[in-house]
Structure 1
Amino acid sequence: MKLEVRGIDEGQPIPERFAFGVYSPTDHMSFGPNKNPELVWDEVPEGTRSFAVIMFDPDVPSVADDVNKEGKTVSEGLPRVDFFHWLLVDIPADVRRIPEGEDSDGVFPKGKPGGPGPIGVRGVNNYTQFLADNPDMGGTYCGYDGPCPPWNDEIVHHYHFEVFALDVASLGLDGAFDGNDVREAIKGHVLGSARVTGTYTLNPDLR
């Protein structure tokens, strides 16, 4: 398979229009346009009955004690975990494109709804956990929400956009399914896949 994420070149910085958080010289971070990028894929395997999209950041700190704290840094040596930013399943087999801004256009406090979206079925991303204790933002975040790494992190984060061609029309996922549920559900059903990776940081020393 071939995947193009329009506006994002392999290994290069992700434009701010796709970000949940953008750099602010006064407050470290402010909300970004949070548009999903346009995905276009081709060279689909024979027998494909649906597609799934996963976007994740493998560079998220496993311990959040120092995240976004004045006078602190998130150490480069801290173990890292996956943070899911975008989950779409049951995308029909005749679809080859998700337009820019189709699944997300702006930051929605308390999150966008899950279930069937403009294209496919939305899963729950990890902003649900990250913002759970914020009274203004806490809620269930579904579909696409873009990069917003800690502004005091010592490393640049990597964001993997993946499309999977599957041999089933539906993964049978409903309710509040997450990234691990999608990864488990696609096991044994992947006919092909493609990935594009972009980078992002809010640390002014790394920009």
Structure 2
Amino acid sequence: MRLVSNSWVDGDRIPARFAAGRRDGQGVGFSDNLSPHLAWSEIPQGTQSFALICHDFDVPSRGDDVNKADREVPEDLPRVDFFHWVMVDLPATLRSLAEGEFSRGFTARGKSGPATLHGARHGLNDYTGWFAGDKDMGGQYFGYDGPFPPFNDSLVHHYVFTLYALNVARAPVEGAFTGAQVRQAIYPHVLAEATYSGTYTLNPRLIG
């Protein structure tokens, strides 16, 4: 199976319009947060649906130094996954997602879900946990919300979009499911998978 995009070149820096955060005159702020174009081909026989996950595997495991102007997040700090997009039940006949089709702008308290376009279902992304307890931003964040890495991180972050071809029409998850739950639930049903990636940073030292 093959996954492509015309939003940026595989492995290159993700344009700011697809990110949740960008640098501005005041430092950093919210960006256009457009969901990217994705298209796929070479589908295995027996595919009944697709699942899509986007995750960043460079997220600091501790927040002590995050977004502090007087220091950087250490490069050797252990890193964890942060899920930016979780979607299941994309129909087997579908072959592409248009740029901006699932997200245009950042929605305080999160986009609605789980029901979404094409009869698919969105899971929660990890901004749900990031904003938990925030009186203005706290809520359930369904669907796509793009990169907004710490502005002082010493590492450039990597974002991986993974499309899975499944042998079931409905993924075995219910309710407000997470990326980790989808990974575990679909594992026995994966016929093939393909990835497309990009990088992003808000650290002026790394932008160059």
Q: TM-score range by the shorter chain?
A: over 0.9
Q: Report the alpha carbon displacement of residue 19 of structure 1 after superposing the two structures with TM.
A: 0.5
* CA displacement 1:65-108 (0-9 Å, x = unmatched): 11112212111000000000000101111011111111111110
Matches within 5 A, 1:1-207: 1-26=1-26, 28-119=27-118, 120-207=120-207
Residues 133 and 67 (structure 1 numbering): CA distance in 2 closer, same or farther, change over 3 Å?
Answer: farther
- Structure 2: which amino acid aligns with 1:147? P
- Aligned equivalents of 1:117, 1:176: Cα separation in 2: 13
Would you say the 8 A contact 1:31–1:107 is kept in 2?
Answer: yes
Say which structure is richer in helix: 2
Would you say the 8 A contact 2:19–2:33 is kept in 1?
Answer: yes
- Structure 1: which amino acid aligns with 2:194? A
Would you say the 8 A contact 1:20–1:148 is kept in 2?
Answer: yes
- Aligned equivalents of 2:96, 2:205: Cα separation in 1: 36
Identity %: 50
What TM-score, normalized by structure 2, do the two folds share?
Answer: 0.96
Q: Report the alpha carbon displacement of residue 197 of structure 1 after superposing the two structures with TM.
A: 1.0
SS at match of 2:129: helix
Runs of at least 4 residues off by over 6 Å: none
- Structure 1: which amino acid aligns with 2:2? K
- Aligned equivalents of 2:5, 2:73: Cα separation in 1: 29
- Aligned equivalents of 2:34, 2:116: Cα separation in 1: 15
Q: What CA RMSD, in Å, does the superposition of the two structures yield over aligned residues?
A: 0.9
- Structure 1: which amino acid aligns with 2:77? L
- Structure 1: which amino acid aligns with 2:181? D
- Structure 2: which amino acid aligns with 1:114? G
- Structure 2: which amino acid aligns with 1:118? L
Q: Report the alpha carbon displacement of residue 51 of structure 1 after superposing the two structures with TM.
A: 0.1
- Structure 1: which amino acid aligns with 2:89? D
Which runs of 5 or more structure 1 residues have no equivalent in the other structure?
A: none
Would you say the 8 A contact 1:115–1:174 is kept in 2?
Answer: no
Q: How many residue pairs align between the two structures? A: 206
Shifted more, 121-130 versus 70-79: the winner is 70-79
- Structure 2: which amino acid aligns with 1:38? H
Q: Report the alpha carbon displacement of residue 135 of structure 1 after superposing the two structures with TM.
A: 1.8
- Aligned equivalents of 1:132, 1:126: Cα separation in 2: 10
Q: Report the alpha carbon displacement of residue 172 of structure 1 after superposing the two structures with TM.
A: 2.9
Which runs of 5 or more structure 2 residues have no equivalent in the other structure?
A: none
Q: Report the alpha carbon displacement of residue 131 of structure 1 after superposing the two structures with TM.
A: 1.2
SS at match of 2:180: helix
- Structure 1: which amino acid aligns with 2:171? L
